Amino acid sequence: ILIDGAPVATGDPIKARAQGIAVIYQELSLAPNLTVAQNIFLGNEPRRFGIVDRDQCNRRARAIIERLGVSFSARALVSSLSLGERQLVEIARALSTSARIIVMDEPTTSLTSRETDRLFEVIATLKAQGIAIIYISHRMEEVYQLADRV
């Protein structure tokens, strides 16, 4: 696999992330008792003088949320969000790492029809912003709806 003509270290998740690849798994990996902003930057928190900068964390999270065109607050607890909104938090987390390629593994498995439609709108927005989406699904109608290539 090449990104901008350079080989990608796909066997090493840390190197792959550093090269702009993010993976969103079917089973979400969010901490329900933390806020949206805290989940977006979990393990990669903005710091000032060695201390987590909560204001910057919230500002950056709001900017990413606005980029996705969603309406929930960066200060909302993840436990208060619908499953579809939680999926969008996972996408926001990927964007916080400056991902240029996002791999989505069965992202609609537990979503309602309405949440799936919203996810597809977000995917279209990401594609328009130049982010590549690798979409893994057994639902072929979704694959054909979203894919530029199969």
The string of pLDDT tens digits covering residues 54-83 is 999 999 999 999 988 888 999 999 999 999
Nearest to 124 by CA among 141, 144, 147: 147
What would the mean pLDDT of 14-30 be, rounded to a whole number? 88
Check whether 149 has a pLDDT greater than 80: yes
Integer Cα distance of 40 and 96 in angstroms: 7
The string of pLDDT tens digits covering residues 90-111 is 999 999 988 999 999 999 988 8
Local confidence band at 144 (pLDDT 50, 70, 90 cut-offs): very high
Who contacts 128 (Cβ-Cβ below 8 Å, separation ≥6)?
Answer: none
Check whether 2 has a pLDDT greater than 80: no
Who contacts 117 (Cβ-Cβ below 8 Å, separation ≥6)?
Answer: none
- How many CB atoms within 10 Å of residue 66? 11
Q: Determine the angle formed by the axes of helices 83-96 and 54-68, rounding to 10 degrees.
A: 110
Domains of the chain: 2-146 (3.40.50.300)
Local confidence band at 135 (pLDDT 50, 70, 90 cut-offs): very high
pLDDT the model gives residue 47: 84
